[in-house]
Amino acid sequence: MKGNGYSGYSLSIYHFNLQYNAGNEESYHVLITKSFVPFLDFYMAHPDFKASLEFQGHAISFMARYYPDELEKLVTLVMERNQVELISVHYSDQVYLAYPKRDLQESIRINDKTLSRYGLKRGPSWFAQENFFGPGVVDLMKKNGYKVALLNRHYLRHYQGDIDPAPYWERDGIHFLSSYSFNLKSDSGSGVNSKYEGAPQLYFDYWGDGELAFTRGNNYFPFHGPSEKKRLKRLALYTKRHADGIITAHC
């Protein structure tokens, strides 16, 4: 991408959980209408911006039943525009590390079948509920066509301590991106890390609950709903990134 006049990438991963507010089905409707629709409308209105979305087959099925017009927007963003990367690793959000591998494999099978039913296809990135991960996931990723795992920085910090950021890590053919932004500078902020000279800069401009990205409060509060202030702030951020030669991209 640097050869096309860009010096780096602005990456955003929005994680939505239909069961964000545990309880009755009404909470599902609140999440879709007050959290997810503002996300869809933002990217529909700004086709130059790209991002990654983590969403489950369970949520897709719910939208197909109750919000088919909004689901069509998602299909447009993912399949027609190639603007949003759909990340989807299980049928419903779950603590998959608590169960045998075969359970997760079956969840992936059901999930892929569900996406296909509604005209969607997932991308090659892996990002699960609560960002759960373990070494055993690598083989399962390879078996199911996943190529990149997105891991929160605490996975590195807990086991390796604080280390200088790198563009990516690799194990057994699977690449790993952490939530560290990478700007060619050492942790001290002085000078360029010559080991990676020539690598593009990486900025994670959003990493977390998509329910909070374009709304005020969250699903637990009565004043929860679309936030014009947050929408304009995100618009200004991505506009400035593009102006500075940092292109928004899929993770």
Residue 192's pLDDT is: 46
The tally of domains found in the chain comes to 1
Between these two residues, 62 and 159, which has the higher pLDDT value? Answer: 62
Report the percent of the chain where pLDDT is more than 90: 59
Q: What is the pLDDT of residues 228-249, one digit of tens each?
A: 999 999 999 999 999 999 999 9
The answer to whether residue 93 scores a pLDDT higher than 50 is yes
User: Cα 31 to the chain's mean position, in Å?
Assistant: 17
> Could you tell me the pTM of the whole model?
0.89
d(CA 120, CA 105): 19
pLDDT band at 184 (very low <50, low <70, confident <90, very high): low
The DSSP secondary-structure symbol of 184 reads S
Strands (E), the chain: 8-15, 51-54, 84-87, 125-126, 148-151, 169-171, 174-178, 201-209, 215-216, 225-226, 246-249
d(CA 69, CA 57): 17
Tell me which residue range forms the domain holding 238.
2-249
CATH number of the domain encompassing residue 31: 3.20.110.20
Q: What is the pLDDT of residues 148-157, one digit of tens each?
A: 999 887 766 7
Of 31, 165, 13, 203, which is closest to residue 89 (Cα–Cα)? 13
Average pLDDT of the chain to the nearest whole number: 87
Residue 186's pLDDT is: 43
Residue 187's pLDDT is: 46
Between these two residues, 122 and 93, which has the higher pLDDT value? Answer: 122
pLDDT band at 134 (very low <50, low <70, confident <90, very high): confident
Question: Worst-scoring range by mean pLDDT, 70-84, 146-160, 190-204, 206-220?
Answer: 190-204
